[in-house]
Structure formats: C-alpha cells, structure tokens
Structure 1
Amino acid sequence: MDYCFRNKSYGFDELLRTLNEGISELYPGEEISERTLRDDIKVFRDKKEGFGAPLPEGIREYKYSDAHFTIAKRPLQKYEQYLIEAAQQLLSRFENQPKYDKLAEALIKFQDAEEQEHDASRILFYDHNEEYKGINHLKPLYLAIKKKEVLQVIYKGFKDKESSIFEFHPHVLKQYNRRWFVFGYNKTKDVKAWSIPLDERLIGFKTLEDVNYLDSDNDWELFFRTMVGVTRINENVERVVVRFHNGRENYFKTKPFQPDYEEFFEAEKQDQVWFETIINKELVQQLLSYGKDVEVLEPESLKAQMREHSNTMQQFYEA
C-alpha cells in the first residue's frame, strides 16, 4: 500500500486489484477483502494509533499529498514492536542452530536502525555497500526463479560499446563480496551456468510468455563449494597449498575464503593449509588481501599469477 500511494493515484477498485495481484505472487490463492482494505486505509490515516499518512479524505483517488512520505520512516507501531520482540523470543529457542543465525542478525539490524531514528547513540556498525544499485533486482529475480519464468535480459558490461539481449532461464541467486549475482541458462549463447551481476550493468529484464522454462541439472551446492567467488572459467579443480606468515593462519581459520580447507598434521606445517578449488580471479584477490603474510606453494600456475601481480606492484613503488 505504501508503494502504491507513493507512486500514483489509485481508485479503490484498482487499488484492491493491484494489492491482490501483488499478494498472489508471494502467497498463491490468498487475497484481501474490500473491508480489510478499508480498515487498512484507516490505519494509514490514523495519526494516533496509525501512520498518520497524508491521504486526503473526501476524494475518490488514493495518493500521498506529500511525495516524500513513506511509512518506512515512521516509528514502529506497538503491535509491530511486539511482533519483533516475539520473533526474537521465538528465535532464542533455536540459539544453537546455525540456520537461524542470519535471521536473528537481520532482526537485530532492523531494531537497531529503528532505534537510531529516536536515539543518537549507535550500537551496530556493519559492512554495507551504500553505492550498490542492484538490490532492486533481487526480489523480482527471486520470484522469477520461484515461478520458473523465462526472461529476456538486456545487459551492458562496463567495457561494452553496445548492450546485448539474450534469453535467460534463472536458477539461483548468489551473494559475494556485498554484491548479488543470478546464475542460470543463457539459451542465446547456450551456456548453462551463466552469471549476471545485479548492478548497473543489468539494464533490465522482462518475462517471456509462452516459453518453456528449462530447469538446471547443476548441483549448485557443489558448484559454489569448488570455487571462490562467482567466476568459473573452467572446470579444472586443483589442489592449492598456501603457507601463512606472522601468525596469519589464525585469521584465515576464523574466516576461510574456501570453507573446505584442510590442515596438515605435520608439526613443521602448522602454518600451512590446503584445499581443492578452481583457479579464478577471486581466489587470487583473496590471497593478495593477505599481502606479504601468505605464500602460495602449489600449483605452479597459481604461483605464476601471484608472481606476476607481485612484480607489477613492485614497479609501482620503485623509487
């Protein structure tokens, strides 16, 4: 409703139809009644117990008179705060279950942001890409995957002179380095695991009607566990051995960029780890982030890449 009131004028029947269409996308078979909608509009207008929304009365169209208003900037209602606290209490039952950690974290972040509206003191400072412009694509692509829709995608890379258009069958969404990517079958180029970054390079997409959706036969869990990041230029999984210096192996073990790493049992190799992965640019970037505190021992191809980066950087700082 907030989105509708901010973007255009709606008659009551059109508003009811639009809301029910949106609800059916998330909850098939569900809808609201005229009575429910009228009650909700009253809550929006109510200045004491509701949102105090600038919805003029006595006219047949519903639209905010203040273009900058949104209920997202309003304090939580009492029942909303109760629901947040109830959700936190429910999650406390699953405190030792890792699959609930992310949801608990999201609730804490939401509550902290809400409290900052009324309290200058701040508790949470978390990593956030404020320049990221692709998050608006996340929900439509998620729904397209759920509904098995085929898309026509318009894409233009940073170095491309012209945009390209292709038929795309979305399969999974992957987040890496504070950025989202969608993987699927690019039928136009006949590539099964094509990735598209959700940023300004993705110009837009639309659903192709009457086109059969092609499911993926990929084991996506294995697909992502055998590489760092999102770039997969080949299928060659190689054994990588690295040695850390200055105790940096302890930092790696608390936040490994390859989760399936193994430690050596030999006493003289306690500063080394090994894992099997595809060699790509994200792996190199992660290794470079350790600077002089990491040394690649194998394979030779990865050592050569690290050597090339090191020599190039050395040239930057020559007196």
Structure 2
Amino acid sequence: MSTNKNAILRYQTLDKCFRNPGKRYFINDLIEECNEALFDYDPSNSGIQKRQIYDDILFMKDSKGYNAPIEEIKEGRSVYRRYSDLSFSINNQPINESEASQLKEALMTLNRFKGMPQFEWVNDLSTRLESSFGLLTSEEPVIGFENNPYVSGLEYISELYRAIIYKTPLKIVSKSFTKNNTEEYELHPYYLKQYNNRWFVFGYNVSEGKVFKKALDRIESINELKIEFINSDINFEEYFEDAIGVTLKESQKPQKVKIRVSKDLWPYVQTKPIHESQSSGNKENLKTLEKGYIDITLKVILNYELESKILERGEGFEVLEPLELRCKIAQRIKTLAKKYV
C-alpha cells in the first residue's frame, strides 16, 4: 500500500474516533483502531507504532493539515483525545496544502491526455477540480510533453485497451501503406505500445498463427467477436527488453553492437543512453576521449529502429561491430548521399 493511502486511512480512522462521544480513546486504543483499519484494507500491512500516531495528531491539528480542534483530557495518569467540537470532521474541511499539492500533480498528469480522442472528459474534470478546490493554475502551459495529437488511429486506443483488459477478440480491418488494398483478420490483443509518437497493438493473428504488431494509424475499423479469447504467456516488458522500438522477429537474438562515439557527442549519449544495455567499459576505455572518441557496446536485436538511432547521430557515430550492421549503415549512407550529388 502506498504511503499516501496509509496516511489517509489513519486520518479517517482518527477522525471517527475523535468524533465518537460514547468512548474515550487513549493512545493504545487509537493505535489498535488504526492498525485494524490498515489490516482490513491490506492484510500484509505490518501496522504502525505510537510515534506515528503522535505525528498524525500533530498534523491534523496543524493549519497545514486539517486545523482539527483536538483536545487532551487527563484521566489519572493517562490522556484521551477527542474533538472539542463534536460536529467537526476532516471530511467537512477545505482541502489542505498537502492535498492541494497532490491534486495539482494529479491534474498535471491528467492534462497530458487533453485533446486525445476518448479523453474529452479530462478537460471538464480538470476545470471542475480547479474551480471547486480553488487550485491556482497558469493560463500558459509551463510543462510540455512529447505528443502528436494529429496522429491517425488515436481514436482506437480506448477500445483496444478495453479489449485487452477484458480479453475480447476483435475483427480488425486495416490498410496497407505499400499495397492499395485492405485486409481483415481476427486479432486477440495483448499489448499496446507507443514508440516515436506512434501507437502499436500486439496480439495473436489467427490467420498468420503468430503474434504480430499493427500500427493504429493503419486501422480502419474494429469490431468485437463473440468467441473464446486465446491467451498468451508472453511478458511484453521482457519481450521488448533486448530491442529498440517495436520491430522484432521471433527467431532474432540480441547481438553485441560496438559503436565509436565522437568526443563532442559523448556527453549526450552518456546522459541519455541508446539502450539500457549500453556500456562504455572500464576507466581505461574512457581515456580514449583524449584521442577524440570513446567506444560503447550494446546488446540488442538488429532492427530498423536501431539503424535509425545510429543514423540520426550522423558523423558522431561509427559502427564497428557487427560487420552486418556496419555494411547496412554504409549502404544506407551511400544511397542517401546519391540524392544530394
């Protein structure tokens, strides 16, 4: 359970105790009530200690918390706590600074989806929350995320997502960019992935008898099929672990790729690795920077996206190994150069 959810459950439990006029709640009683509430929500919860309850009470009393009128009443050597105003409840109070901060962060995340098909509700929800809770917002955007709302096929994201969650087979009609025709096939969808501002769906294509990918911008229609869903045991996080992008073949294995990086380009490659497998070797290898370069290695599947990553670095990259990839890059550069002669 997250820390925030833990805290909310404790505050709600303490609020209920402090409003109860029929029972005196000493510190051990409060601990017991909170632990019971936490355990009911998550049986694996290990519970809380006395120090945490004291901190929670201080927060609830603070103006940055709920400004709660908690009074301490001595009974012998012990002390019990309750609200001096039993009509008070934290649920009747305006949101505090901490809650407002968390809500603003949530709104920033939601606003990433503004303008996307199937997410029109975000615009209305954001406005309602900002108005209801008096959240300060900037009229001008202050943070930008990489997104292209004009890409075709975004309208299918929600439908495909639901089909994956509810294991619903689909009949998909799509068009080809290379052939002037459409194709229809039965797809059992498993995974949605975005790469380079394009969305792709991965699933089992019955006619081909294998898992394949389809770009959403090629889809023309989607319809649900009332048939049994074919499950997959593929872990797609691991499936893409050895690749850049979305182009993979079942028979491919990752290979060692050695690239010579120019000294000027190295800081950018060092702080933004091409792939998680990127390595620059030992300290001895770093000494080659004095000669104007450094050699890095990757362990990845050879595909079109890897070639594109290398080519976009221009003269700052030189493929040393494997020979197959070096020759492929050289040929593409020659073909490109002819267009500028």
Aligning the two structures, in what range does the TM-score lie when normalised by the shorter sequence?
0.5 to 0.7
- Out of 223, 238, 249, the position equivalent to 1:222 is 238
User: Which whole-Å deviations, capped at 9, do the CAs of 1:161-206 have from their partners, x for residues lacking one?
Assistant: 22111111101111101111111110111112x001111x101111
1:142 aligns with 2:161: yes
**How many pairs were matched up?**
223
Separation (CA, whole Å) in 2 of partners of 1:87 and 1:291: 47
Match of 2:109 in 1: 106
Match of 1:172 in 2: 191
Separation (CA, whole Å) in 2 of partners of 1:168 and 1:269: 51
1:159 aligns with 2:162: no
Change (3 A) 1:135 1:86: farther
CA shift at 1:253, angstroms? Answer: 2.6
Matched to 1:161, the amino acid is: N
CA contact (8 A) 1:182 1:195 kept: yes
Separation (CA, whole Å) in 2 of partners of 1:258 and 1:225: 9
Separation (CA, whole Å) in 2 of partners of 1:121 and 1:152: 43
CA shift at 1:122, angstroms? Answer: 4.2
CA shift at 1:288, angstroms? Answer: 0.7
Runs of 5+ unmatched residues, structure 2? 1-93, 115-121, 131-136
Match of 1:317 in 2: 340
CA shift at 1:257, angstroms? Answer: 3.0
Change (3 A) 1:218 1:250: same
Matched to 2:311, the amino acid is: L
Match of 1:259 in 2: 276
Change (3 A) 1:152 1:88: farther
What SS does the corresponding residue of 1:222 show, helix, strand or coil?
helix
Match of 2:143 in 1: 124
Separation (CA, whole Å) in 1 of partners of 2:95 and 2:310: 46
% of aligned pairs identical? Answer: 29
Runs of 5+ unmatched residues, structure 1? 1-80, 93-102
Once the two structures are superposed, the pairs formed by residues 14-25 of structure 1 within 5 Å of their partners are none
What SS does the corresponding residue of 1:295 show, helix, strand or coil?
strand
Matched to 1:133, the amino acid is: S
1:298 aligns with 2:317: no
What's the RMSD between the two structures over aligned residues?
3.1
Change (3 A) 1:106 1:269: farther
TM-score (norm 1): 0.62
